[in-house]
Amino acid sequence: MTQSAAGDRLANFRRIVLLVLFAVLAPPAGAQSRLPEGSEFQLFVENDMLARTDRYYTNGIKLGGGAPFDVLQLPAMELLRQLAPEGGSAIHLGVFAGQNLYTPKSITVSQPQPFDRPWAAWLYLGGVAQRVKGNRLDTVEVDLGLVGPAALGREVQTGWHKLIGSPRPLGWNNQIPNEPAFLVSYLAKSKLVLNSAAKLDLELIPHGGATLGTVMTLGRAGGLLRLGRHMTGFGPDTIEPGGAMLQNMRRSSEPGRAPDFEWYVFAGLDHRLVAHNIFLDGTVFRDSPSVHRRAHVYDLSLGLSLRFNAMRVGVTRVRRSEEFVTAAGGGGRQTFDSVNLGIEF
């Protein structure tokens, strides 16, 4: 096959991927009138621009929310029934699409950089199942997608940098190769009220879970403290698998919610014991660039969440510990910001 023919096949494959995502996420004509009360749209954006860096985990985007049915929701629902306690609310379903981008420290170098993080992109579609029982929230997410050039990392980062006037990334020819990839994630959260006063409330929200798949395999545990008024849900919604609340979950778990305005500040810790990370270890079935992965990784987070009527916005600053080392030294810590927008219908 000639290079031109291979390029045409890859371009056609990318178009198919985008059409599939659009078909899944775009509601059919008249769907808005059929959305049940409490349905929710979620948008997450994570980027290191405000931290004045452009490296490592440099961008993540995820969008979706409550949806009636998707093929990936069936295994998520069945697994949730096995892992979560019986009783409580009905199981709610959702669908998300997302993309993550990873680069080395120097994005203007076109040659391979064997002593730095590999270039990588991950494009995926996820089915989610969720149930709440008392002060506990259980979520299972099944994500299926692609890594490599078909994940459109070059196109997205190049276009974004052109739009904002940043340096053009030149090293995407060195990214990990095309490979289908998946992960299955389970996350449990609990809510403990430490203090409830006339002016301010204080809550502790511990969490724990695990992820298994060719993308990542890890166990995780942590929690956050939040201080505010009229607090609902189980802390801020987050981009990682299982981190977002779904269709009707807020109203079904807190039917007596009355105040139109909610706010809180929070600080959190998430520790992960990582056995596999495709963005550091390289692809599973093909040779690819890789670095030595650190097994223990943690995130420290600090942020603010606001809700007015049906709209919520959360802003989080994340400080991530060193994820890898090479013969030339460690990669160092990373700082990035996360923004979440949620709209209830």
Tens of pLDDT, residue by residue over 262-292, are 999 999 999 999 999 999 999 999 999 999 9
Instruction: Compare 65 and 115 and report the one with higher pLDDT.
Output: 115
Q: Is residue 201 predicted with pLDDT exceeding 60? A: yes
Token pair of 111 as six digits:
């040659």
* Residue with token string 């992109």: 121
Amino acid at 18: L
- Residue 41's pLDDT is 86
pLDDT tens for residues 151-192?
999 999 999 999 888 899 999 999 999 999 999 999 999 999
State the pLDDT confidence band at 207, using cuts at 50, 70 and 90.
very high
Token pair of 189 as six digits:
């959260």
- Residue 128's pLDDT is 93
State the pLDDT confidence band at 72, using cuts at 50, 70 and 90.
confident
| Stated pTM of the model | 0.86
Instruction: Compare 84 and 270 and report the one with higher pLDDT.
Output: 270
Q: Which value, to the nearest 10 degrees, does the dihedral of the CA atoms of residues 251, 232, 124, 57 take?
A: 170
The alpha carbon of 230 is separated from its chain's Cα centroid by a whole number of angstroms, namely 26
Contact 247, 258 (CB under 8 A): no
What is the average pLDDT across 238-252? 77
State the pLDDT confidence band at 70, using cuts at 50, 70 and 90.
low
Token pair of 210 as six digits:
């695990």
* Residue with token string 């706010």: 263
Instruction: Compare 280 and 84 and report the one with higher pLDDT.
Output: 280
Instruction: Please report the domains of the chain, with CATH numbers, ordered by start residue.
Output: 3-16+37-337 (2.40.128.140)
Cα(298)–Cα(181) distance, rounded to whole angstroms? 24
Cα(318)–Cα(299) distance, rounded to whole angstroms? 6
